């Protein structure tokens, strides 16, 4: 009797210990998972911050081997390419998202949603090849516009899905109230439904912009990159991610310094956008 009770107690203690060991392992996993983020950010700041000066933002690159210069052309290039991509991608993505949320019974909704998921999982390099065949191969030269088209195509399914999910959260009573007041359908959708989820839609859009701002692969053979300052959409254009790639894989110390600084700028832009976006989302969810 007592021995059975003792063995039961031992068994319980073992099971509890096992549970605790597993929790310990999981905490170790959390630390291991957060570690790369800390290490990457620390290295970026240590190696990149010292190179961030006025020249970095305002000057063009100097010939290889010389010291100094900047990446003004790539900063402007990224702004132009991402800006044009957003002009194309955001309206289409948001409109498609509204369609799929407001006309849920339509068969097109099902098809569009499914295809958006397929496109969301498509490697960005494949989208780059697509933009190349569609624009670069036809025009016979690389262009910033082809880069923007590739980025827009990455954006559309992302924005569509977040918009749809946001609008689905709007209670039907809101729609019914507006319709009961005699609002036509389109004013109900735009003036009531979309307006009430506007923060969510803005958040989704910002996340999408943050995602594509750091994309490199689709630009490799569309915008191509350039050593010169250019705002012509029809010509090759520099972009920060391409600069990081070229300088990181190049042979010169000075280039590596520039790669770190460019990466730091890139990551600040991306993080500010995505943190701001996530904070907005957090506020709407709790509010």
CB of 263 to another protein, least distance (A): 5
Instruction: Assess 90 for contact with another protein (CB under 8 A).
Output: no
Instruction: Assess 287 for contact with another protein (CB under 8 A).
Output: no
Q: Please tell me the total number of residues recorded for the chain in this structure.
A: 287
Instruction: Assess 256 for contact with another protein (CB under 8 A).
Output: yes
Looking at the Cβ atoms of 144 and 217, the one nearer to another protein is 217
Please work out the total of residues on this chain that contact another protein, with binding judged by CB under 8 A: 100
Instruction: Assess 40 for contact with another protein (CB under 8 A).
Output: yes
CB of 60 to another protein, least distance (A): 21
Distance CA 212, CA 214 (A): 5
CB of 34 to another protein, least distance (A): 6
Distance CA 72, CA 153 (A): 26
CB of 70 to another protein, least distance (A): 18
**SS3 of 69, please?**
strand
Distance CA 68, CA 219 (A): 26
CB of 173 to another protein, least distance (A): 15
Q: Which residues pair with 237 in a beta bridge?
A: 224
Q: What angle do CA 27, 28, 30 make, to 5 degrees?
A: 65
Window 99 to 158, contacts with another protein (CB under 8 A): 99-100, 102-103, 108-109, 111-112, 115-130, 132-134, 137, 142, 153, 156-158
Among 86, 244, 254, 255, which residue sits at the site for another protein (rule: CB under 8 A)? Answer: 244
Residues 6+ apart with CB under 8 A from 227: 60, 61, 73, 238
Looking at the Cβ atoms of 49 and 115, the one nearer to another protein is 115
Spatial contact of 129 and 218, defined as CB atoms under 8 Å apart = no
Distance CA 172, CA 202 (A): 22
Window 261 to 280, contacts with another protein (CB under 8 A): 263, 266-267, 270-271, 274-275, 278
């Amino acid at each position: 009797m007592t021995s059975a009770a003792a063995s039961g107690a031992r068994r319980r203690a073992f099971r509890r210990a096992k549970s605790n060991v597993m929790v310990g392992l999981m905490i170790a996993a959390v630390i291991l998972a957060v570690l790369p983020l800390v290490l990457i950010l620390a290295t970026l700041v240590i190696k990149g911050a010292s190179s961030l000066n006025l020249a970095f933002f305002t000057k063009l690159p100097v010939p290889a081997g010389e010291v100094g210069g900047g990446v003004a052309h790539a900063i402007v290039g990224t702004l132009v390419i991402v800006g044009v991509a957003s002009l194309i991608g955001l309206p289409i993505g948001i409109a498609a998202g509204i369609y799929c949320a407001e006309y849920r019974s339509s068969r097109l909704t099902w098809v569009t949603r499914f295809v958006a998921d397929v496109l969301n999982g498509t490697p960005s390099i494949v989208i780059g090849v697509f933009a190349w065949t569609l624009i670069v191969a036809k025009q016979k030269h690389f262009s910033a516009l082809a880069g923007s088209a590739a980025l827009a195509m990455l954006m559309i399914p992302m924005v569509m899905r977040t918009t749809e999910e946001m609008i689905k959260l709007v209670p039907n009573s809101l729609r019914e109230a507006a319709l009961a007041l005699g609002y036509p359908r389109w004013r109900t959708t735009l003036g009531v439904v979309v307006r009430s989820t506007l923060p969510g839609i803005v958040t989704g859009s910002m996340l999408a912009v943050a995602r594509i701002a750091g994309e490199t692969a689709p630009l490799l053979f569309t915008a191509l990159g350039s050593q010169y300052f250019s705002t012509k959409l029809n010509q090759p254009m520099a972009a920060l991610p391409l600069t990081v790639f070229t300088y990181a894989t190049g042979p010169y110390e000075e280039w590596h310094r520039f790669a770190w600084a460019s990466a730091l700028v890139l990551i600040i832009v991306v993080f500010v956008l995505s943190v701001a976006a996530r904070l907005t989302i957090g506020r709407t969810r709790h509010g």
